[in-house]
Amino acid sequence: MRIRTIPQIYRNANRWREILSVLSKYGLADWLSRFEFAFGKNWLKNRDGAVLADQSRESRIRLALEELGPAFIKLGQIMSTRPDIVGGELADELEKLQTSVPADSPYRVTEIIQDELGQSFDEIFEEFSTEPVASASIGQVHRAKLKSGEEVAVKVQHHDIRHRVRVDLDILTGLAQLAERLPELKPYRPCATAAEFQRALRRELDFTRERRHLEQFGKAFEENEQVKIPRVFSEVCSERVLVMEWLEGTPLSAPEEIRQLGVDLGAIARQGAELYLEMIFRHGVYHADPHPGNLLVTDEGAIGLLDFGMVVRIEESLREDIEDMLLAIVEQDADQLAAVVMRVGLVPPGLDETNLSLDLTDFVAHYAYQSVEQFELAAALNEMFDLMRRYEIVLPSSMALLLKVLVMLEGTAQKLLPDFSLMEVIGPYQRKIVARRMSPTRQLRKAKRFAYEIQQLAEVVPRRLRDILQQVQTGRFDVHLDHRGLEPSVNRLVLGLLTSSLFIGSVSLVSNHVWPVKDVSVPGTLGIALSAAMGLRLLRAISKSGNLDRHK
């Protein structure tokens, strides 16, 4: 693939130039760090004044994404959930990504709200704070009061954010196509990661999805007094404006303030963990961004959830695979863990299953003698992610995200209670998981699905067999063989035959003095020179392929 064949370059030339400039700037620190002088190193700095040569590769990737803007920050945040692809070290660094997007002017905010809702500003709000509470990559949040008197949080999408995101997504597609051609970047699966990112970001640009998530979670936990989900005011919501109940509380990022409320931090940590396990294993849908800023504790001791832009649904079969994986880790069953990993993961050709099983056995044995109270699930999952990456096994995105959420959940809980172990909470769920799997309702549902699949198979197979037999009978049955990698070999064979034929013919012309000039055959000499050039070209092609004299 040539760079000029990528249409995104021509459509967004200025933005391409800006992106490549930033990437080059942060990449140059690799070269500077090899020299033993400080003069040149201090020239390249990021926008905060930090010297790039002093930063690790992971830190420079994070800094570059922050400088490139909202879409790239979102890309980094999604990559942070895939340690099985990018590695645990880079994933941990990308978790630190901070969005510093300037807030839109009050005029812009007013204009967007009125255009979206079709009402004047004064008809909707009694009060509206023009100073935003927060400004993230997609939108900003303002505190307000409706005409009916309810205190609300108003989330407004940034002006022109859709156009900027579209341009950056277009460019990311081009960058992924280029990166796919580089051997050192291919293990990161650039095209697949870019496609996954595009789906996630387009969903976040539609606030009606977040509104439906809020309504769904509100209904699921309406009888649970320990959980607080903001109520949505659907009549004043749209694709770009979301109005929800204002929740008063203290974020989990401020444990000292929570302790001053007289709330037991250990109880809150356990309560939050049980809440997430209930979402995952009972409802099959969960809030996928449990960092301390999105969780707060109300004055009544309930846990409030904020920002439902990232919500993930898990189908039942995948949920069972995740349960099997966690149970295998809990029970230190290396064989079961290896079976689950190879069943659900995208396994590379020629996987060394013997060494994988040995490494998984060592992994399980390392944690086998730890008590439940001392078992750190986050460390175990991070180590397993590194193991998957070493063997180039790619987990399904929903499974990788869920395991990463469990890591984040334990980290968030440990901010409240440093010795908290998520395994203490997961342990009792082992019995619930087994009981739920053996329940008559679940078995009946699986039996119905199995019967339906058998019925579909019984309807399709006879018809397909009849079609094949008819094709055989009429002589229209064809077998298509895909000779992978054969075309280059055939091309080289043909070029070799042409080269040798040209050389032999040219030697014959020289020997017989055909069209001589000073007793030297002109066409013969030209033919020999051309055959020599073709021979060198053929040798170069074989040498570049690495198969000139390799023995297997």
Structure confidence by residue, pLDDT tens digits, 38-61:
444 444 455 555 555 556 777 778
Same domain, 249 and 275: yes
Q: Element (H or E) spanning 242, and its range?
A: strand 241-245
How many C-beta atoms surround the C-beta of residue 3 within 10 A?
10
CATH number at residue 240: 1.10.510.10
What does the block give as tokens for 232?
């949505």
375 in a domain, yes or no?
A: no
* Alpha-carbon span 424 to 462, nearest angstrom: 53
pLDDT at 36: 42
CA–CA distance, 498 with 138 (Å, rounded to integer): 61
Are residues 498 and 532 both part of a single domain? yes
User: Which tokens in the block code for residue 534?
Assistant: 């073709």
Of 208-222, 269-283, 309-323, least confident by mean pLDDT is 309-323
pLDDT for residue 526 is more than 70: yes
| pLDDT (average), residues 310-317 | 82
**Is the pLDDT confidence value at 151 over 90?**
yes
* Cα distance between residue 134 and residue 125, in whole Å: 19
Looking at the domain assignment, is residue 449 inside a domain?
yes
- Do 210 and 151 belong together in one domain? yes
* Single-letter residue type at 54: D
- How large is the average pLDDT for residues 126-139? 87
289 is catalytic: yes
Closest by alpha carbon to 306, among 298, 295, 317, 292?
A: 295
Q: Are residues 468 and 490 in the same domain?
A: no
Q: Is residue 552 part of a domain?
A: no
In the block, which residue shows the tokens 């007289």? 262
b/e code 175-214 from CB counts within 10 Å (16+ = b): bbbebbeeeeeeebbbeebbebbbebbeebbebebbbebb
- Model pLDDT, residue 379: 79
Q: Are residues 449 and 516 in the same domain?
A: no
Q: Which of 81-90, 266-275, 332-341 has the largest mean confidence? A: 266-275
Asked if the model's pLDDT at residue 346 lies above 90, the reply is no
| Shared-domain flag, residues 465 and 504 | no
Whether the Cβ atoms of residue 400 and residue 82 lie closer than 8 Å to each other: yes
Does 352 map to a domain? no
Q: How many other β-carbons are positioned within 10 Å of the β-carbon of residue 84?
A: 26
Q: Same structural domain for residues 492 and 513? A: yes
Distance CA 364, CA 370 (A): 11
Cα angle 20, 22, 24 (rounded to 5 degrees) comes to: 65
CB neighbourhood size of 93 (10 A): 21
- Of the pLDDT bands very low, low, confident and very high (cuts 50, 70, 90), residue 547 is low
Q: What is the mean pLDDT of the chain?
A: 79
Residue-range definition of the domain harbouring residue 530:
486-545
Name the active-site residue from 84, 168, 289, 307. Answer: 289
Judgement on whether residues 252 and 285 belong to the same structural domain of the protein: yes
As a residue count, the chain comes to: 552
Site of tokens 């009888």: 223
363 neighbors 340 (Cβ within 8 angstroms): no
Of 40-44, 56-60, 325-329, 391-395, minimum mean pLDDT range: 40-44
Percentage above 70 pLDDT, the chain: 84
| Residue scoring higher pLDDT (296 or 444) | 296
In a domain, 146, yes or no: yes
Q: With 90 as the cut, is the pLDDT of residue 263 above it? A: no
Residue corresponding to tokens 């999408």? 157
Asked which of 289, 310, 331 is the last residue of a domain, the reply is 310
* Residue 51 DSSP SS3: strand
Q: Please say whether the beta carbons of 393 and 347 come within 8 A.
A: yes
What is the layout of strands, in order, in the sheet containing 303-305? 227-228, 303-305, 295-297, 250-251
Residue that finishes a domain, picked among 290, 310, 330 = 310
Instruction: Say if 365 falls within a structural domain.
Output: no
Residue 498 within a domain: yes
Q: Is the pLDDT of residue 8 over 70?
A: no
Q: Which residues contact 469 (CB under 8 A, 6 or more apart)?
A: none
Residues whose CB is less than 8 angstroms from the CB of residue 124 and which lie 6 or more positions away in sequence, other chains included? 113, 117, 146, 147, 236
Instruction: Identify the band that residue 386 occupies on the pLDDT scale cut at 50, 70 and 90.
Output: confident
Last residue of a domain, one of 454, 476, 498: 476
Count of domains in the chain?
A: 3
Residue 499 scores a pLDDT above 90: no
Q: Which helix (H) or strand (E) holds 365?
A: helix 353-368
Residue 399 resides in a domain: no
Q: For residue 1, what are the CA distances in angstroms to 4, 6, 180, 182?
A: 9, 8, 10, 11
Structural contact between residues 230 and 244, judged by C-beta atoms closer than 8 angstroms = yes
Question: Are residues 534 and 490 part of one domain?
Answer: yes
Alpha carbons 291 and 98: distance in angstroms, whole number: 12
Q: What is the pLDDT of residue 33?
A: 45
Verify that 471 and 495 share a domain, yes or no.
no
At 185 the pLDDT is 67
End-to-end CA separation in angstroms for the chain: 30
At residue 297, what is the residue type?
Answer: V
Find, among 103, 112, 108, the residue nearest to 131 by Cα. Answer: 103
Backbone angles phi, psi at 35, to 5 degrees: -95, 155
The verdict on 451 and 519 lying in the same domain is: no
What residues contact residue 291 under an 8 Å CB cut-off, 6+ apart? 95, 408, 412
Res 482: pLDDT: 65
Same domain flag for 469 and 528: no
